[in-house]
Amino acid sequence: LAKTTQPISMDSYEGQEVNITCSHNNIATNDYITWYQQFPSQGPRFIIQGYKTKVTNEVASLFIPADRKSSTLSLPRVSLSDTAVYYCLVGATRAGSYQLTFGKGTKLSVIP
């Protein structure tokens, strides 16, 4: 299972764009990159998933360079309610048993 490295914490003001970068140097060919958001005492919430290039949905964008050794989650115009821990995970989703191994995550604090 590929190991991921993220910043422990980040601060941002309301209304700003936040970019959280995750390193996964030993990502395998079959691995997808998935980001989750977790609030205290709640289960993680799926944000976005991608394999390469750029993926965008209604809440975030995910940028993945050609070598796939890193990825960046982009949250546009954050609000106070985006204060949470964000986890980057890599794993194969298309075959076999897919286990998600959680790293320490990035604690994002949005400041008014």
Residues that bind another protein (CB under 8 A): 34, 36, 41-46, 49, 87, 93-94, 97-105
Task: State the pairing for strand pair 61-64/45-50.
Answer: unpaired
Q: Which of 65, 60, 24, 64 is nearest to 45 (CA)?
A: 60
The least distance separating another protein from the CB of residue 29, rounded to whole angstroms, comes to 16
Between residues 69 and 107, which has the closer beta carbon with respect to another protein? 107
The least distance separating another protein from the CB of residue 83, rounded to whole angstroms, comes to 15
Q: In whole angstroms, give the CA distance from residue 56 to residue 70.
A: 17
Between residues 3 and 65, which has the closer beta carbon with respect to another protein? 3
The least distance separating another protein from the CB of residue 77, rounded to whole angstroms, comes to 22
H, E, C per residue of 76-108: CCCCHHHCEEEEEEEEECCCCCCCCCCCCCEEE
The least distance separating another protein from the CB of residue 15, rounded to whole angstroms, comes to 26
Q: Tokens 């995910």 label which residue?
A: 62
Determine the length of the chain: 112
Between residues 12 and 87, which has the closer beta carbon with respect to another protein? 87
